[in-house]
């Protein structure tokens, strides 16, 4: 017999299907309705508790319902919700000062947006205007957002339904190294091969190229990356041509990778990027993104250019409280320590599983690539089964990857050791259950 909450859920799901696009709420056969969270846990409308190993969608950077963020947002909401970029905002200035200083970009200017997509759009607008060219370089398997421009440069075809981009994009190797023609190369050989690919592409380019945009670790692409230093090797080539380097830190920023505050810092031998984009975690769930660029690049726009809601008092107040908490509690250090332990636990789980091809990543950005039992064939079916089995065990995780067969693990950066152990154990059981089902 259906329970009252069960039929309320079914009714909501039917209404969702009737009015929202088919491509939303696709993770579970029976989508979850989350109602509240605390720390690293969330609860659904039926009272089930889950350990959130996906941090929202890498948005809950510090913790769910962090009191400091709630207090800052509530206080601001009681004063004024919005003023616009026509006026000065104390917290926007303070947040920009801190981000500019953290960015590592000299003479930096910060522009706030409402999303990662809008941040990347702005970065592309700046680079193409500054360089007077609509040609850009992007990595194969990349994802940069869902506007017409950012979809147009996204290299992961599963996320790029249109090829009618206003930009001309050249795709360079560099993100995926476990499969494809460059698999099994050493770090140095891989780097050389990618640099040769870049030089080859530049030889084919039609005049000036504006920029290379790259995620230091590909997020939607399944938490894959080239070796440390690869983007520095690219930058040496780009510098010879005056091409700008845009680092998309939407997933990798704020210490998520543990070893570095930004993903680009694993590639800092040739100096900082020209443009950095951020979003997701900075607002702890509030709609906040932004672009950091050298002043001469940021100020190259000759026209007015505003974002009505970018840098609004409410999001900057929340983001400032969130960033302050992150820095005061050294959550980057926590990501390194607890992430290291979680990685070790996942490696042990993988060693016992017949469907794990690889565990990868660093800090609290860990990927698990799945294959059909006893083969090397990517298995998106395994990823779907593991997600369902993990959910039954009170664990939420993400998925993605070039072949849709990677699990993505990115909990809030305040994850504790006990929670890491709990999540790894649940994932081990979920992998075993999925493998049994696959036969
Ligand atoms: N860039 C990267 C690396 C992302 O992972 C995403 C979103 O997943 C975006 C850009 C787009 O951000 P948003 O969804 O906030 O527009």
Q: What is the ipTM of this complex?
A: 0.99
Closest C-alpha among 374, 323, 312, 363 to residue 339: 363
Q: Judge if the beta carbon of residue 220 lies within 6 A of ligand 1.
A: yes
How far apart (Å, rounded) are the C-alpha atoms in residues 95 and 176? 34
Check residue 1 and give its pLDDT. Answer: 45
Consecutive H or E run containing 42 = strand 41-44
Q: Judge if the beta carbon of residue 256 lies within 6 A of ligand 1.
A: no
219 Cα nearest atom in ligand 1: 5
For the chain, list residues with pLDDT below 50: 1
Nearest 10 degrees: Cα torsion 287, 98, 410, 402: 80
Q: Which residues neighbour 202 within 8 Å (Cβ) at sequence distance 6 or greater?
A: 209, 237, 241
Q: From residue 156, give the alpha-carbon distance in Å to each of 56, 57, 204, 220, 250.
A: 22, 18, 22, 8, 16
Measure 413 CA to ligand 1 centroid, in angstroms.
Answer: 19
Check residue 163 and give its pLDDT. Answer: 64
Closest C-alpha among 100, 291, 102, 311 to residue 211: 291
220 Cα nearest atom in ligand 1: 5
The two tokens of residue 424 are 């790894």
How far apart (Å, rounded) are the C-alpha atoms in residues 432 and 353? 7
Gyration radius from the chain CA atoms: 22
Q: In DSSP terms, which residues pair with 109 in a beta bridge?
A: 293
Residue 268, Cβ density class (10 Å: 0-12 exposed, 13-18 middle, ≥19 buried) = middle
The two tokens of residue 115 are 């999303």
Q: Judge if the beta carbon of residue 113 lies within 6 A of ligand 1.
A: no
Measure 25 CA to ligand 1 centroid, in angstroms.
Answer: 17
Measure 95 CA to ligand 1 centroid, in angstroms.
Answer: 21
116 Cα nearest atom in ligand 1: 12
Q: Whose CA is nearest to atom 13 of ligand 1?
A: 116
Q: Judge if the beta carbon of residue 143 lies within 6 A of ligand 1.
A: yes
Q: Judge if the beta carbon of residue 250 lies within 6 A of ligand 1.
A: yes
Q: Whose CA is nearest to atom 12 of ligand 1?
A: 116
Cα angle 273, 274, 276 (rounded to 5 degrees) comes to 70
279 Cα nearest atom in ligand 1: 15
DSSP 305-333: ---SSTT-HHHHHHHHHHHHHHHHTTHHH
Cβ atoms 139, 218 nearer than 8 A: yes
- The preferred substitution site among 143, 246, 264, 285 for testing ligand 1, maximizing ligand atoms within 8 Å of CB, is 143
Q: Judge if the beta carbon of residue 312 lies within 6 A of ligand 1.
A: no
Consecutive H or E run containing 155 = none
Q: Judge if the beta carbon of residue 355 lies within 6 A of ligand 1.
A: no
The two tokens of residue 101 are 């200083």
Terminal-residue alpha carbon distance, the chain: 31
- Is the pTM above the cut of 0.90? yes
- The preferred substitution site among 113, 118, 141, 144 for testing ligand 1, maximizing ligand atoms within 8 Å of CB, is 144
Torsion sign, CA atoms 45, 48, 54, 58: positive
């Amino acid at each position: 017999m259906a329970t009252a909450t069960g039929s309320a859920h079914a009714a909501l799901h039917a209404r969702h299907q009737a009015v929202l696009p088919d491509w939303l709420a696709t993770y579970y056969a029976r989508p979850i309705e989350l109602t509240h969270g605390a720390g690293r846990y969330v609860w659904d409308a039926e009272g089930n508790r889950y350990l959130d190993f996906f941090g929202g969608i890498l948005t809950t950077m510090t913790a769910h319902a962090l009191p400091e963020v709630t207090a800052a947002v509530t206080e601001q909401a009681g004063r004024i919700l919005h003023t616009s970029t026509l006026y000065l905002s104390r917290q926007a200035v303070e947040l920009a000062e801190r981000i500019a200083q953290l960015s590592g970009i000299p003479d930096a200017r910060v522009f706030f947006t409402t999303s990662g997509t809008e941040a990347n759009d702005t970065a592309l607008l700046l680079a193409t205007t500054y360089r007077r060219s609509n040609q850009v370089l992007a990595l194969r398997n990349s994802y940069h957002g869902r506007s017409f421009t950012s979809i147009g440069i996204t290299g992961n075809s599963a996320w790029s339904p249109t090829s009618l981009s206003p930009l001309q994009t050249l795709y360079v190797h560099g993100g995926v190294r476990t499969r494809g023609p460059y698999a099994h190369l050493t770090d140095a050989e891989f780097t050389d091969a990618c640099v040769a690919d870049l030089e080859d592409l530049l030889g084919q380019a039609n005049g000036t190229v504006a920029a290379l945009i790259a995620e230091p670790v590909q997020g939607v692409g399944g938490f894959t990356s080239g070796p440390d230093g690869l983007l520095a090797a690219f930058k040496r080539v780009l510098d010879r041509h005056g091409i700008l380097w845009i680092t998309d830190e939407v997933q990798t920023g704020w210490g998520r990778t543990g070893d570095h505050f930004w993903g680009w810092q694993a590639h800092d031998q040739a100096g900082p990027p020209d443009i950095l984009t951020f979003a997701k975690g900075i607002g702890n769930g509030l709609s906040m993104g932004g672009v950091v660029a050298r002043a001469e690049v940021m100020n190259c726009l000759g026209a007015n250019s505003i974002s009505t809601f970018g840098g609004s008092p409410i999001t900057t107040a929340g983001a400032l409280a969130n960033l302050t908490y992150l820095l005061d509690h050294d959550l980057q250090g926590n990501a390194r320590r607890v992430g290291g332990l979680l990685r070790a636990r996942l490696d042990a789980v993988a060693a016992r599983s017949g469907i794990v091809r690889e565990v990868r990543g660093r800090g609290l950005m860990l990927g698990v690539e799945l294959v059909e039992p006893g083969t090397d064939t990517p298995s998106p079916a395994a990823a779907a089964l593991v997600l369902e089995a993990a959910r039954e065990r009170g664990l939420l995780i993400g998925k993605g990857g070039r072949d849709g067969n990677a699990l993505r693990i990115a909990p809030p950066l305040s994850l504790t050791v006990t929670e890491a152990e709990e999540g790894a154990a649940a994932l081990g059981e979920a992998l075993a259950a999925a493998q049994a089902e696959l036969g």
